[in-house]
Structure 1
Amino acid sequence: MTISVNQLTDPAVRAFVAALNANDKEAFESALTPGATMSDDGSERNLDEWTEKEVFASRGHMEIESEKGDGRDLVARYRNDTWGEMRTRWRFTVEGGKVARFETGQA
Structure 2
Amino acid sequence: MTIRTSRLGDPAVRAFVTPVDDHDQEGSTALLAPGATMADDGSDRDPADWVDREVFSSHGPMDVDDGSDGGRSLLVRYRNDTRGETRTRWSLTADDDGISRSATGRA
**TM-score (structure 2 length as normaliser):** 0.96
SS of residue matched to 1:102: strand
Contact 1:63–1:76 at 8 Å: present in 2 too?
yes
Aligned residues: 107
What residue number does 1:25 align with? 25
Determine if the alignment matches structure 1 residue 83 to structure 2 residue 75.
no
Read off the aligned partner of 1:90 and give its amino acid letter: W
Question: Any residues of structure 2 matched to 1:4-83 within 5 Å, and which?
Answer: 4-83=4-83
Read off the aligned partner of 1:106 and give its amino acid letter: R
Mapped partners of 2:44, 2:16: distance in 1:
19
1:8 Cα deviation after fit: 0.8
Give the CA RMSD over aligned residues. Answer: 0.9
Mapped partners of 1:97, 1:62: distance in 2:
23
In percent, how many aligned pairs have the same letter?
49
Structure 1 stretches of 4+ with a deviation exceeding 3 A read: none
Read off the aligned partner of 1:38 and give its amino acid letter: M
What residue number does 1:99 align with? 99
**TM-score (structure 1 length as normaliser):** 0.96
Structure 2: stretches of 5+ with no match in the other structure: none
Contact 1:12–1:97 at 8 Å: present in 2 too?
no
1:30 Cα deviation after fit: 1.8
